[in-house]
Amino acid sequence: MRKFIISLLFIVFFYSFADANGISVSQSLDKTKIAFEDSVIFEITLQWEGGQSAYLFTKPLNPDFNRLKIRGFSSSISVSQPNNKEITTKKYDYVLKPISSGVGTINPVTISYISWPDSLPGELVTEAMTVNIAEPVKKEEKAKISRGWIFVFWAVIVLGGLFFIIKRKMNSRQLKGPVKTPKDKFLESLTKIKEDAGTDLKKFQAGFYKIVKEFLRENYSILLESDDGDNLKKQLENTSLSPDKVEKIYQWIVKANKDKYSPNTGIPGETIRLESEIRDFFEKL
């Protein structure tokens, strides 16, 4: 019952034996039921009090298996000092692969050694252990499993590609920011022109003329030329703008076209007043 509880807790079958010379042997399996395509690890552990040279192992281990074969082998030795006592542990690990289904058997393994320095020979023997090996998967089932994994693989590739494209578009939109209307762009440019021009009315009017020309082109498809005042007014009247707004924009454009070529820079405060008036108008437009 105790062994059964231990096997449930650790998913391992484990045996340990010690002889009168102070050396002990234990063995374990990492699992007791495996698929035919799987493998199991069989481990033999020797432990004694003293250093590595306390025991000499004169013969290599020669384990014998039924329905199993060795696919890999490794060994290690380590020394610890619990409670100021030198303890040496030597491990042999066998990776076992099934060669047929059914009950696989690990037969008892004899371990011969000579203790040092008295040169007394001794032997330790492990117990037999068994592994339940399932039937191999049929070729048709393997093909189905293989096709299933191929489908999953391509599904992951396609979904990953779609996710990448969507993510890239979202990032691109975030970098570009929201789409700006002609009015938004006009007001932003107006702020910059005011900052650059300062109190210089001529410089402000030259900048205003440029951005209002772009605004009319984008918002009303009006192409503004410097010498077509009458034609401009007609085009403005054909838009959704009210007559008073048409007149206001028209007068600003005419004045800007005149001021940008004037040698005068304007009276103090005129640029600030004009920018504020234009901004208020276009914000309500």
For residue 214, give every residue at least 6 positions away whose Cβ sits within 8 Å of its Cβ, in sequence order, or none: 182, 185, 186
Q: Say how far apart CA 266 and CA 15 lie, in whole Å.
A: 104
Do 121 and 9 lie in one domain? The reply is yes
Burial of 269 (0-12, 13-18, 19+ CB in 10 A): exposed
Packing angle of the helix pair 270-283, 182-197 (nearest 10 deg): 170
Do 95 and 205 lie in one domain? The reply is no
For residue 281, give every residue at least 6 positions away whose Cβ sits within 8 Å of its Cβ, in sequence order, or none: 245, 248
- Pick the closest to residue 90 from 47, 54, 59, 27 (CA basis): 47
- Does 242 fall in a domain? yes
Stretch (H or E) spanning 119 = none
- Does 155 fall in a domain? no
| Structure confidence at residue 10 (pLDDT) | 39
Domain that holds residue 274: 182-283
- Does 36 fall in a domain? yes
Single out the residue in 108, 133, 158 at which a domain terminates.
133
- Contact predicate 213/238, CB 8 Å: no
Q: Considering its fold, how many domains does the chain have in total?
A: 2
For residue 119, count other CB atoms closer than 10 A to its CB: 8
Q: What is the pLDDT of residues 16-43, one digit of tens each?
A: 555 556 899 999 999 999 998 899 999 9
Single out the residue in 133, 162, 196 at which a domain terminates.
133
- Does 237 fall in a domain? yes
Do 100 and 26 lie in one domain? The reply is yes
SS3 124: strand
Residue 15 binned pLDDT confidence (cut-offs 50, 70, 90)? low
Q: What is the pLDDT of residues 116-168, one digit of tens each?
A: 878 788 889 999 999 999 999 887 666 666 677 787 888 889 888 888 888 77
Do 7 and 128 lie in one domain? The reply is yes
- How would DSSP label each residue in 213-274? HHHHHHHH-----TT-HHHHHHHHHTSS--HHHHHHHHHHHHHHHHHTT-S----TTHHHHH
